[in-house]
Amino acid sequence: METEKIIMLHCDYAEGAHPNILKKMQETNLLQTVGYGEDEICAEARKFIKKHLKNENVDIHFLIGGTSTNQVVISSCLRPFEGVLSIESGHINCHETGAIEATGHKVISITKEQKMTAEMVEKFCILQESNPSCVHCVRGKMVYISLPTEYGILYTKKELEDLYNMCKKYNLYLFIDGARLACALACYEQTNLKIEDLPNLCDVMYIGGTKCGALFGEAVIIVNDAIKPYFRYNMKQRGAMLAKGRLLGIQFYELFKDNLYFEIGKKAVDLAMYLKEELKKKGVKFFIDSYTNQQFIIVSKEKKNELDKKFCLTLWEENEEGVILRACTSWATTKETIDKFIAMF
């Protein structure tokens, strides 16, 4: 008897890539180009991204994955004795196997709250400056945030403005991890944030491809001129420079030549909101009120075991209320899949 296939909702990168990207790769497969991101396709992709950002002065580099991107960006910005501020649940703090520490830079976790605020940064900086033994401590020089966060929580435009102004007040860099940026941009009603706002709200950021329709790859956007020199040297040294760089360029070319990147984010978020509203009608509790493609439901252990027979979800944690499972939607998720999941309740 054939076993029923398990449906994967545990992440937003379980599938390969959007068909448009695969088609473009096939069309350009025999095209000969120079390597390491210096080809004409990467150049066109950069033009499209700059057009959406409405900023011609940024530097754009294509890297292969999120962890290596965070590692290269942070190590490019900091002196050997400097560290990066993060919330406790920040990706660099708990899901990157010490990749930042491996570069010699400490991740300084300053709060258990789900978002970094300007007030938190100021409190840290005041303590840092007033500490008579500060020379014996790692010096905070960068603030790291994810947009959205690991729990699908959003920052509003006003919150980012306040945070960046505070960083500038104390001469800190602000780095935005945009692994799921497409989903955050689909939530304009909650954030009042557009992609063209972002270069004015940080020193450096990246646009995530891996979790937003690409096979792999992230696009680093460097705004601050102080960070731009020699960035590619660090990319190369840390193994983050792809020889066949045009494979990255092709993907971001397709994502940004029109509005595909934004359409992918909207589809994922719309399906997640549908899942959320329908499960709420059935009395399902949610761990966090997320407006993005990550939804965290609370179920009993018995219900989890039942779901495990047909669906693969991420076991997030357990608390006194029950088991917290994360369901993720993506460009490839269908309403039929979500309906099947809802029918389990």
pLDDT one-digit tens code per residue, 290-313: 999 999 999 999 999 999 999 999
Per-residue pLDDT at 170? 97
The gap between the terminal CA atoms of the chain, to the nearest Å, is 26
Per-residue pLDDT at 1? 42
Per-residue pLDDT at 29? 96
Burial classification of residue 162, based on how many CB atoms lie within 10 Å of its CB (0-12 exposed, 13-18 middle, 19 or more buried)? middle
Per the DSSP assignment, residues forming a β-bridge with 323 are 299, 318
Distances (CA, A) of 188 to 45, 178, 226, 290, 315: 24, 15, 31, 14, 29
Do 318 and 187 fall within a single domain? no
Asked if the structure places residue 1 within a domain, the reply is: no
Asked if the structure places residue 312 within a domain, the reply is: yes
Name the nearest CA neighbour of 327 among 280, 271, 281, 282: 271
Burial classification of residue 175, based on how many CB atoms lie within 10 Å of its CB (0-12 exposed, 13-18 middle, 19 or more buried)? buried
Do 178 and 273 fall within a single domain? no
For residue 313, what is the domain's CATH number?
3.90.1150.10
- Structure tokens given for 221: 């956007």
Asked if the structure places residue 2 within a domain, the reply is: no
> Which of 205, 239, 258 delimits the end of a domain?
258
Show the domain range for 178. 19-258
- Structure tokens given for 161: 């403005």
> Which of 225, 258, 291 delimits the end of a domain?
258
CA 336, CA 334: separation in Å to the nearest integer? 5
For residue 115, what is the domain's CATH number?
3.40.640.10
Number of residues that make up the chain: 345
Instruction: Tell me the residue type at 71.
Output: Q
Do 240 and 313 fall within a single domain? no
Burial classification of residue 268, based on how many CB atoms lie within 10 Å of its CB (0-12 exposed, 13-18 middle, 19 or more buried)? buried
Name the nearest CA neighbour of 116 among 93, 145, 89, 91: 145
Give start and end residues of each alpha helix (H) in 30-77.
40-53, 66-77
Do 171 and 305 fall within a single domain? no
CA 210, CA 35: separation in Å to the nearest integer? 21
User: Nearest 5°: CA angle at 249, between 11 and 183?
Assistant: 35
> In terms of DSSP bridges, do strands 82-87 and 314-319 run parallel, antiparallel, or are they unpaired?
unpaired
Positions in the chain short of pLDDT 50 = 1-2
Per-residue pLDDT at 134? 85
Do 163 and 252 fall within a single domain? yes
Per-residue pLDDT at 320? 87
> Which of 258, 274, 308 delimits the end of a domain?
258
- Phi and psi, residue 69, nearest 5°: -65, -50
Asked if the structure places residue 88 within a domain, the reply is: yes
Count: domains in the chain:
2
Instruction: Tell me the residue type at 58.
Output: V
CA 88, CA 115: separation in Å to the nearest integer? 9
Asked if the structure places residue 114 within a domain, the reply is: yes
Do 266 and 253 fall within a single domain? no
Do 210 and 252 fall within a single domain? yes
CA 179, CA 265: separation in Å to the nearest integer? 12
Do the beta carbons of residue 156 and residue 190 sit within 8 Å?
A: yes
Do 250 and 267 fall within a single domain? no
Query: pTM for this structure?
Result: 0.96
Do 269 and 253 fall within a single domain? no
Do 90 and 193 fall within a single domain? yes
Do 297 and 193 fall within a single domain? no
Name the nearest CA neighbour of 175 among 148, 198, 202: 202
Do 111 and 136 fall within a single domain? yes
Supply the DSSP string of 81-139, one letter for each residue: TEEEEEETT-HHHHSSTTTTGGGT--EEEEESSSS--HHHHHHHHHHHHH-TTGGGSPE
CA 160, CA 146: separation in Å to the nearest integer? 11
